[in-house]
Structure 1
Amino acid sequence: MAVVLHLLTFTSILLMYVSSARPPHIVLIVADDLGWNDVGWRNPQMYTPNLDKLATAGVILNSSYVQPLCTPTRNCLMTGYYPYHTGLQHSVIVPDAAGFLPANFTTLPQKLKELGYVTHIVGKWHLGFCNWKYTPTYRGFDSFMGYYNAAEDYYTHYVGPGYDFRFNTDVYRPTEGEYSANIFANRAIDILNSVDPENESLFLYLPFQTVHEPLEVPEKYENIYSHIHNTSRRLYCGMVSALDEAVGNITAVLRERGFMDNLLLVFTTDNGGPTFAGANNLPLRGAKSTLWEGGTKGSAFVYSDTLLKKTKYLNTEMMHAVDWFPTLLHVAGGTADAGMDGMDMWPTISNNAPSPRKEFVYNIDEILHNAAIRVGDYKLIEGNPGHWNGWYPLPSVKEGLPNATADGAAESKNCMVNISADPNYQLFDIRNDPTEHFDISKKYPKVLQQMTQRLAEYKKSLVPANYPPPDPKSNPKYYNGTWSPGWC
């Protein structure tokens, strides 16, 4: 009898070891157009209790960089390569043009499937759909619920003249009048209820529509900010709180079903906030679509009950969106291909080790004739960094977008700045001047020369931007009123 009990005990210990050795679940949540100052852990005026709880109990990533726009950042997450190496460095993929993430790049879910993961995406794709081979279920995902494009209505799911909502490859029509953040949260919960957390490893990619334009949100979330009389800001803040509640509902199920025992949750925005559409990036300069820190420094954190060696701190080590690919692959037990732009940041994130990254490329856009790089503490901007060049205060009680002129320069006295007319180069010391007030290019000509030479080296590997003109074959009228693959 003692021998039997001993064997049972040994078997139980072995099963526990096998369970703990299983690759961890990974949940990657991407907010769309979330500003630096639009989260509660930085701005107490924001009501984001669920995000705040996760961020402060985990690791807040205070130097996590992204691309200035949606498509390029999603490219980084899915491939580990800078957009200027995939042809997606200019603007975003628009519905009626044949832009896409090239099929020769292996995506993160494809690599994770090789390691035995089940993979699901819920939300925004924005990496091409003109041919089926560019769509999510052909790029490594077991299932897809969401939309191909951007800037669609949160309730009707129309983008311009076409309907854009899918379940896998089929056109899908959710309950009429249901808000997209709730649709996506409910789908995520359905996935969690279908996966066995002890015997399967899950990769759940949740690129929410929120808080991208159009500014739409159920009244109950808008009412949280009834004290804000500026309509755009009030709606935008309500959208952030709707996102927060959706994340809270999902994480509650993660905990109820036991996923949290072996899970890494990553939260990031895809670019800085559009100050021209209700967002705020204070104290950073600029906005979405610009090369300024306000367009490229993203709100982000990681959370885990079990995987992080150090928690509840602010990580200030440099990292970039391309780093998530090799980092998450490492967590899953895999290894990224040699030559990838991304670097494995797991020791940095999990234990606050020094970052292996000492430099990165903000972007190189040969169509706009602008670029920016970071080397150590120095940031070089070539050409015009973008349209929104100022520091934008939170909206006042008045309507409209106060304190900003048409060209983006701040009007209020504490935000005045002299902006050169498309200077050739600007140089900033980001460590000592994180808000980019002082161009030091004339003060440090040798540093400027070294930085321009480094930029020239990066440019040698540039792949021409794939930004084709509109194609009339894309018209939804040929596909029963929907944006559909089949025209490239």
Structure 2
Amino acid sequence: MAVVVVTDDIMAVVVVADDSMAVVMVADVVMVVDVVGEVYVGQAVSEDMLMMMMMMMAPVWVWVALGCIATTMAATSAPNIVFILADDLGWSDVSWHDSGVETPNLQKLIDEGVTLDLNYVQPSCTPTRSALLSGYYPFHLGRQGLPLSEMTPAGLTVNVTLLPEDLAALGYSTHLVGKWHLGFCNEAYLPTRRGFQSFYGQYGGRHHHYNHSYDGGYDFRDGDRVALEANGTYNPVLLTDRAVNIIQQQGGKQSPFFLYLAYQHVHTPLEVPDEYLALYPNESDPDRRKMLAMVTAMDDAVGRVVAAINASTFANNTIIVFSSDNGGERPVGLNLPLRGAKVSLWEGGTRVVGLVHGAMLENTPRRYGGLLHVTDWRSTLLAAAGAAVLPSTDGFNQWEALRTGRGRSPRKSLVYDIEQAGDDISGAIRVGRYKLLVGPQNFTEEEGPWLFDLKKDPYETTNLAAARPGLRKRLERVLRKKAKEMVPQDRPVDDPAGDAENFGGIWSPGWCRREPSSLQISDHLRWLPPVEDVLEDS
């Protein structure tokens, strides 16, 4: 007989052969196990060993059941997932928005895949990474506002499960290559404690691209080990070498992998090999020229990763996602025609370039005009991985719409951010085509509130707040109701105990003077009124 068991969102198909032995499939791993009461204990076995064990277990129905399992496994082979996150890449800093920018490898992914037209993130580094891995708006976790610094005694709250933990439970191997930037003062915050089985890169948010140091401290690790041998090698070369190695090591393995490749490019400091500078002889601004050269250096790195995937046996079963973590940083990053930049809630700070690529995507190339927010990736990628149950977060599962091009985005609204601003709040919300911003905003001397029809005015040029007072008030009521769910920002003042000089010039964990964060997540997740109720008579 066959018994389907679901435990902790993992499906196991158990085919009982007799009173002492069983064949078990958990995710895509087949095991022959001893049965002790109701506890199954065993290990993965090779095909030859499985056949030998099955011959000893004889009954014909077991062979039939095993054949069914094998068929199911082949039909439901989980895809590999490569998520590439750029750092501070502007809207117009790619070839598909400016033909003068050299990004041929990304352009090829665009030409073969799905372009994300309404791809929204948070306005800066830490909040976006928090939302990506958790599926929660940062204001629900206390991670809104400024990014963490190297001496901030805080990190991403440990009472929320992260995407790599979900995928590991589904049988994935999980790897972070690049920038973490979600806290490291306590070991509980480290990536290898949050679901990543391997880590190669930096704990903090900024360092020089050759010496991997910032403010007197070195920041580059291979797992928990300080990787001093990385000193002197250009950061994207190091990260790409490791990413390619991980991909090549997957050859012959049955279990899928998740590779989160988080480049620090094109974040300052502006450092790049001369060969890339030579590609932009007509750029008169020397800093802009360096930044564009860094874009092309990153594009070359992406090309190497894609080439490694294409050379593998699993090229047709690998999803590639590419996105920036926020808009380009002024003055070198260019987000035009969008308004604003990094660290702002204007479209130029939060609407970023993005794409999805993979042989399983239908009707490509195409553009995806559905509203998509960084919180959606956790549920979307878990759905792509075949998870039977998706987490209840702020995100939506967009996989079918992305995969097929049929149907609409399940997301009809989003909260850009909410922060405390003195006795009031600062934030922004989008419901349908309308966006409202309240409180102090960067890159303007105007006083709000601001109301925009993003369908007619995607560049936020015409404030409708005075002309549409009823709509403004309805949107503001929604935003203020959401603000009641806000967890206070978890960013205490920097603690000198974390200074790298206390650890021999190495940015290191183990100096927090408080327990890892256990902030309570709001009970009202995902609540927003129907669009038609907010926009009635609009």
> Do they fold alike, i.e. is TM over 0.5?
yes
1:22 pairs, out of 77, 80, 85, with 77
State how far apart, in whole Å, the 1-side matches of 2:333 and 2:229 are: 28
State how far apart, in whole Å, the 2-side matches of 1:216 and 1:362 are: 31
1:290 aligns with 2:328: no
Cα distance, 1:41 vs structure 2 = 1.2
**Cα distance change on mapping 1:195 and 1:312 into 2, 3 Å:** same
2:404 is matched with 351
Note the residue ranges of structure 2 that are not aligned, 5 or more in a row.
Answer: 1-65, 513-538
Cα distance, 1:24 vs structure 2 = 0.5
1:3 is matched with none
Cα distance, 1:151 vs structure 2 = 2.1
TM-score (norm 2): 0.80
Q: Render the CA deviation track for 1:435-482: whole Å, top value 9, x for unaligned.
A: 000000011111001100110121111100001001111011221111
State how far apart, in whole Å, the 2-side matches of 1:28 and 1:336 are: 21
State how far apart, in whole Å, the 1-side matches of 2:252 and 2:134 are: 26
Conserved in 1, the CA contact under 8 Å of 2:379 and 2:391?
A: no
Aligned to 1:224, the other structure's residue is in SS state coil
Q: Which has the larger displacement, 128-137 or 360-369?
A: 360-369
Q: Render the CA deviation track for 1:17-56: whole Å, top value 9, x for unaligned.
A: 7345221000000000000001111110010000000012
Conserved in 2, the CA contact under 8 Å of 1:326 and 1:336?
A: no
Conserved in 2, the CA contact under 8 Å of 1:28 and 1:205?
A: yes
Which residue type is aligned with residue 209 of structure 2?
Answer: Y
1:384 pairs, out of 440, 461, 470, with 440
2:118 pairs, out of 63, 67, 70, with 63
1:364 aligns with 2:418: yes
Cα distance, 1:12 vs structure 2 = 11
Aligned to 1:225, the other structure's residue is in SS state coil
1:339 aligns with 2:392: yes
**Cα distance change on mapping 1:180 and 1:16 into 2, 3 Å:** farther
Q: Render the CA deviation track for 1:142-187: whole Å, top value 9, x for unaligned.
A: 1000001122100011111211111101111234421100100000
2:504 is matched with 480
Cα distance, 1:367 vs structure 2 = 4.5
State how far apart, in whole Å, the 1-side matches of 2:132 and 2:441 are: 23
Conserved in 2, the CA contact under 8 Å of 1:197 and 1:257?
A: no
Q: Which has the larger displacement, 187-196 or 290-299?
A: 187-196
Which residue type is aligned with residue 379 of structure 1?
Answer: K
Aligned to 1:374, the other structure's residue is in SS state strand
State how far apart, in whole Å, the 2-side matches of 1:150 and 1:17 are: 43
Which residue type is aligned with residue 348 of structure 1?
Answer: A
Structure index of larger Rg: 2
State how far apart, in whole Å, the 1-side matches of 2:145 and 2:301 are: 32
**Cα distance change on mapping 1:101 and 1:176 into 2, 3 Å:** closer
Note the residue ranges of structure 1 that are not aligned, 5 or more in a row.
Answer: 1-10, 390-418
1:435 aligns with 2:459: yes
Q: Which has the larger displacement, 189-198 or 247-256?
A: 189-198
Aligned to 2:375, the other structure's residue is in SS state helix
Q: Render the CA deviation track for 1:117-152: whole Å, top value 9, x for unaligned.
A: 000000000000001110110000010000011221
Conserved in 2, the CA contact under 8 Å of 1:24 and 1:332?
A: yes
Conserved in 1, the CA contact under 8 Å of 2:76 and 2:386?
A: no
Q: Render the CA deviation track for 1:206-243: whole Å, top value 9, x for unaligned.
A: 01011100011111111111211211110000000000
1:274 pairs, out of 320, 329, 337, with 329
1:452-463 correspondence to structure 2 within 5 Å: 452-463=476-487
1:80 is matched with 135
1:23-42 correspondence to structure 2 within 5 Å: 23-42=78-97
1:180 aligns with 2:180: no
Percentage of identical aligned residues: 41
Aligned to 2:279, the other structure's residue is in SS state helix
TM-score (norm 1): 0.88
Q: Render the CA deviation track for 1:384-417: whole Å, top value 9, x for unaligned.
A: 221x34xxxxxxxxxxxxxxxxxxxxxxxxxxxx
Aligned to 1:41, the other structure's residue is in SS state coil
State how far apart, in whole Å, the 1-side matches of 2:229 and 2:438 are: 46
1:471 is matched with 495
Cα distance, 1:339 vs structure 2 = 3.4
1:318 is matched with 371
Aligned to 1:204, the other structure's residue is in SS state strand
Q: CA RMSD in A?
A: 1.7
**Cα distance change on mapping 1:122 and 1:205 into 2, 3 Å:** same
Hey, which bits of structure 1, 4+ residues long, moved more than 4 A? 11-17, 335-338
State how far apart, in whole Å, the 1-side matches of 2:252 and 2:122 are: 33
Q: Which has the larger displacement, 339-348 or 42-51?
A: 339-348
Conserved in 2, the CA contact under 8 Å of 1:476 and 1:482?
A: yes
Aligned to 2:228, the other structure's residue is in SS state coil
State how far apart, in whole Å, the 2-side matches of 1:483 and 1:104 are: 25
**Cα distance change on mapping 1:426 and 1:182 into 2, 3 Å:** same
Which residue type is aligned with residue 279 of structure 1?
Answer: G
1:408 is matched with none
Q: Render the CA deviation track for 1:326-345: whole Å, top value 9, x for unaligned.
A: 00010111156553100001
- How many residue pairs are counted as aligned between the two chains? 444
Q: Render the CA deviation track for 1:287-341: whole Å, top value 9, x for unaligned.
A: 0000100000010000001x21231111111010000000001011115655310
Conserved in 2, the CA contact under 8 Å of 1:162 and 1:476?
A: yes
